[in-house]
């Protein structure tokens, strides 16, 4: 039974309330989420500065031992260097740089001599372009004072966090959204699934829920992939063989990006139905900027939703 997808006369009012809800949260909590992350990042930068002797020793051995510091090192230059720009400037392997930053390790198959040569080039570019207004001790040819090092680490951490500000906010939003679902469910005597209690997503006991669960689907050619689902809820009244309710938590701080990503949910719904039939459902938990165009597209695909500002609508799904 549809809950919100068949009620377009309510959409406009809900959109306004959802935008207000998101903006209120952002003004109150987003700065703290950013500051907390910046504080943690500052400590990581201070460690990286210690390993590189305050940016005076960016040698291959240091980069070999701590490959993950490369993303930080790119933020120490004037101007900060994008990943692809570093690859071009240093004339080094894209595979090496991507492996160090994304996988936090060196490419295992890379020739030892080539690796050393590439790491020397990276270190040379970073040292040559190190920002003199941040790392003031370099011109004095010393290691800097404790205050100078902390100040430099804070600036670099700001640059790092600024580059990933949106993911920081998204992570904080998702944490809050899932916590809201958990609080609502536990108030109605649902309990969180214990580790190892269910073999797969179909075997959740009635009256339980779980977060970040993989649901396998079959693609063309019998290829199998896992769809990550934010929340699974097995109704207390569920009968044998009944699927849990699948929910994806979504938040958005503007109207632009949501319409670019709306096909992703439709694709998931199509894959789930092809694998498990029409009885499986896939629903959204929305907060923020989702306009009528987005809602209409999802409704046409048979995807229903609950607004976070009206979380009690979960009860209308039979929970």
CB 267 within 8 A of CB 298: no
Range of the domain at 235: 8-29+166-317
Closest CA to 5 of 229, 298, 312: 298
The answer to whether residues 201 and 148 belong to one domain is no
Encode pLDDT of 265-316 as tens digits. 888 888 888 888 888 889 999 998 898 888 998 999 889 999 999 999 999 9
Averaged pLDDT for residues 31-51: 83
- Last residue of one domain, picked from the residues 164, 183, 218: 164
> What domain count does the chain have?
2
- Last residue of one domain, picked from the residues 164, 190, 209: 164
Rg (CA), the chain: 24
**pTM for this structure?**
0.68
Pairing of strands 245-252, 224-234: antiparallel
The answer to whether residues 156 and 98 belong to one domain is yes
Going from the C-alpha of 196 to that of each of 240, 241, 262, the distances in angstroms are 19, 19, 33
Phi, psi of 251 (to 5 degrees): -135, 155
CA distance 319 to 316: 7
| pLDDT above 80 (res 120) | yes
CA distance 139 to 132: 7
| pLDDT above 70 (res 164) | no
The answer to whether residues 119 and 13 belong to one domain is no
Q: For position 30, what pLDDT does the model report?
A: 73
CB 179 within 8 A of CB 171: no
Tell me what percent of the chain is helix, strand and coil, each rounded to the nearest 5. 60, 15, 30
- Last residue of one domain, picked from the residues 164, 188, 209: 164
CB 132 within 8 A of CB 78: yes
The answer to whether residues 231 and 307 belong to one domain is yes
């Amino acid at each position: 039974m549809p809950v919100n997808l068949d009620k377009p006369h309510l959409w406009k009012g809900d959109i306004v309330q959802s935008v207000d809800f998101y903006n209120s949260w952002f003004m109150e909590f987003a700065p703290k989420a950013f500051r907390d992350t910046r504080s943690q990042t500052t400590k990581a930068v201070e460690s990286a500065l210690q390993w590189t002797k305050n940016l005076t020793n960016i040698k291959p051995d240091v980069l070999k031992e701590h490959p993950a510091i490369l993303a930080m090192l790119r933020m120490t230059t004037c101007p900060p260097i994008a990943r692809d720009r570093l690859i071009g400037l240093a004339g080094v392997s894209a595979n090496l740089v991507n492996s160090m930053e994304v996988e936090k390790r060196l490419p295992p198959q890379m020739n030892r001599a080539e690796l050393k040569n590439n790491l020397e080039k990276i270190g040379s570019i970073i040292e040559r372009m190190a920002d003199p207004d941040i790392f003031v001790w370099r011109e004095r040819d010393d290691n800097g004072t404790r205050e100078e090092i902390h100040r430099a680490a804070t600036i670099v951490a700001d640059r790092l966090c600024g580059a990933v500000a949106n993911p920081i906010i998204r992570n904080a939003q998702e944490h809050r959204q899932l916590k809201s679902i958990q609080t609502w469910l536990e108030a109605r005597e649902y309990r969180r699934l214990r580790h190892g209690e269910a073999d797969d997503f179909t075997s959740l006991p009635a009256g339980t829920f779980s977060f970040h669960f993989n649901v396998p689907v079959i693609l063309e050619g019998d290829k199998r992939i896992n769809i990550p689902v934010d929340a699974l809820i097995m109704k207390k009244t569920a009968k044998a063989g009944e699927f849990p309710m699948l929910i994806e938590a979504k938040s958005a701080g503007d109207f632009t990006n949501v319409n670019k990503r709306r096909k992703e949910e439709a694709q998931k719904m199509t894959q789930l139905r092809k694998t498990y039939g029409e009885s499986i459902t896939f629903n959204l938990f929305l907060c923020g900027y989702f306009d009528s165009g987005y809602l209409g597209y999802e409704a046409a695909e048979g995807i229903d939703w609950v607004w976070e500002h009206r979380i009690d609508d979960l009860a209308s799904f039979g929970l």
